[in-house]
Amino acid sequence: MTRTKSILAACLSLALVSSSLGAAPSAMAQTLRPADGLKARTDAPLTGKFIGFSVLRSSVTPAALKTPARTPYFKPGFANAANKPQKPTASSTLQTMGTELGSQGSTGDLGRYFTGERFQPRTPVAVDAAGAGEAKATLTASASTDKEPVPSAKQTVPAPKTQGVTASLNPWAIAGIAAAAVAVVVGVWTWMRGRQKNSTWENSKSNQDIIALEKARRDNDAKTLGEIKTEARGRQTRMDERIANARSAGQKDIELKEGKTMKVKDAEAFAAFDGLAAARAELNENAVSADPKARVGGELPATWQGRLGGLDAQASQAGFEGNLALQLKTMGGELARQDQAASKYEKDFSNFNKYVPGLFGGRLKDMEARGRSDLSAFQASEIQAEKATFVKFNTAMRGRVSGRLAGKDAEYQGHLSRLEDLNQAADGTLKSAVDMARQVDKDLADMARHEHARAYNLMLAAQNERVEVPVYDKNGRQIGTDIEDHSATYKALVASETAEAQASAASARAGVKALSTIIPLLHKDPVLKKEGLTFALPSNANTRVGSGGSVFFDFWMPASWNFFATMFSESQANQARGSFAPIKGGLESVMSEVQSRQASEQRWTAKRIDQVLDHEMSQAGKGG
């Protein structure tokens, strides 16, 4: 009975193996029928009943159940399927089962083979052995009809079906590719946009004016330049009026001649183009023309120089400044008009710049550069030259008037004397002391800033003196960890900040030492005593300034040793700056008061001089 149960279990296991591998032989499908109460473990539907059977070892051969070998099963996620467990083929399973029956006899439990694991524990299944003869005959007949089994060494096994492996891209590579694609698209779009804007310029009337303007400038043709100026500025004015009307009416288009329309945005571009053409025409006309009425600069600088020089000589001899003052007044008006014109040209170029592409600017960019070059030449050769001439002769004229007033007007003499004293104080020792105090304050602030940066880098250096890093073998496998010192970079920064702090401290100490000598001299200054300002001066400049840290110790000693010392140095710098603040504040307050009194005297004396010049100009006007 025990042997029968074992054989029955083996056959049941065989059926389960066949169902798991697929394509069970038709003979087995017709012979093996599950008993009542047992669930068939096969994919093919089986009908009928059986109550048991017996199997001879000689009849259970690979040919009896000729089942084609299936593709080995690979668990998804394994890169090398050959190293993973595989389901056995039917032939190998049956051969091993026969060997087990021969060696173990009735004790063999062939039901353990259904998963491919030879000795997997399994609960025995009790099966009635009645009717074993019918099963034996059926299996024997089935075995006799099969062909001779092919030795396992000669069997052709299909290649394993591995799952497709998809190469994973580095996210940075994907980002780089995407960025490159975006850059290409943006570059093409920028190029097309620049080309379109340049095409608009080349087809404009303003471009034609510029071509004619360049030729007229080469030929020194002031008349043609004037005509271009008038025409371009007229077009700009008319276009600006149409744009303003369209905007006030809430329209997006402006009406042109012959029923044509233009978008407001395009009209603004053409108005900017006309502004550039008009500005360049005016500037170039000013450069080649000698007619004061046509030139935006009016009289030539050389004309003013000669005219004012002659009048200045006459005024010095006659003691009468009326004629010179009138010409200087006229020249002042011309200078004001030149400044207004320069501002207008700058606005024209700025409006034109709105339509110049940043990249692929082409001819538009060149036109703006040429226009700004014309403006720079006008400012240097016309405006600045005439301003220098004006200042020269105006200063000389007012000085002569002031001298005559001082000789005959005691009140004016008193104000002038006080003004000269205040000028001396404001530009002398007091100014030096104030400048020095401001430099000391800046040095102390720099010292504190460098000490703070030094402390921060020391903290980072201390954190990186002992860094645990992984150690790998030649195959890239981590085999342990090691301790490394990564603080060298931070210590170098610490040393640099220390050197800067020391330099600032040295400069501050030098300034404090110099002030210790200057402040006592200010207390003895006669002007400050006369003005009653010595009480606001600081008594001394005693401020202790530390020397900062040591570059040697910062770089070569452990960072943690110097961290707290650095914090102390920063605190010292801040304390020194705080103690120096009253010294700096006292000097600045005295300087502010001196400058206020100085400005008051300047206004009084200037007003008195203007009264004299107005009177003489009125006399010169009547005499003319």
Q: What is the pLDDT of residues 207-227, one digit of tens each?
A: 888 999 999 999 999 999 999
pLDDT, tens digit, 9 for 90 and up, residues 441-451: 999 999 889 98
Check whether 340 has a pLDDT greater than 60. yes
Distance CA 134, CA 465 (A): 86
Check whether 432 has a pLDDT greater than 50. yes
Average pLDDT over residues 56-67: 43
More confidently predicted of 361 and 622 = 622
Tokens 């590719």 belong to 177
pLDDT (0 to 100) of residue 594: 96
Average pLDDT over residues 303-332: 94
Average per-residue pLDDT for the chain = 76
More confidently predicted of 143 and 322 = 322
Tokens 């009908």 belong to 47
For residue 16, report the phi and psi dihedrals to the nearest 5 degrees: -65, -40
pLDDT, tens digit, 9 for 90 and up, residues 534-549: 999 998 766 666 555 4
Check whether 173 has a pLDDT greater than 50. yes
Provide the token pair at 618.
Answer: 């009125």
The closest alpha carbon to 274, from 348, 365, 221, belongs to 348
Q: In sequence order, which residues have a C-beta less than 8 Å from that of residue 296 and are 6 or more positions away? A: 282, 283, 285, 286, 337, 338, 341, 378
Q: CA-CA distances (angstroms) from residue 464 to 431, 451, 493, 552, 558? A: 49, 20, 14, 19, 11
Q: In sequence order, which residues have a C-beta less than 8 Å from that of residue 603 and are 6 or more positions away? A: none
In this prediction, residue 338 has a pLDDT band, given cuts at 50, 70 and 90, of very high
Provide the token pair at 361.
Answer: 């600017």
Three-state SS at 262: strand
The closest alpha carbon to 341, from 296, 286, 281, 385, belongs to 296
Measured at the CA of 342, the angle between CA 341 and CA 347, to 5 degrees, comes to: 95
More confidently predicted of 529 and 562 = 529
Contact call for residues 304 and 386 (beta carbons, < 8 A): yes
Distance CA 460, CA 483 (A): 16
The closest alpha carbon to 295, from 337, 332, 257, 261, belongs to 337
pLDDT, tens digit, 9 for 90 and up, residues 385-431: 999 999 999 999 999 999 999 999 999 999 999 999 999 999 999 99
Distance CA 492, CA 457 (A): 9
Tell me the domain boundaries of the chain.
Answer: 2-76+85-154, 194-407, 422-623
Contact call for residues 237 and 403 (beta carbons, < 8 A): no
Distance CA 143, CA 604 (A): 137
Distance CA 534, CA 590 (A): 8
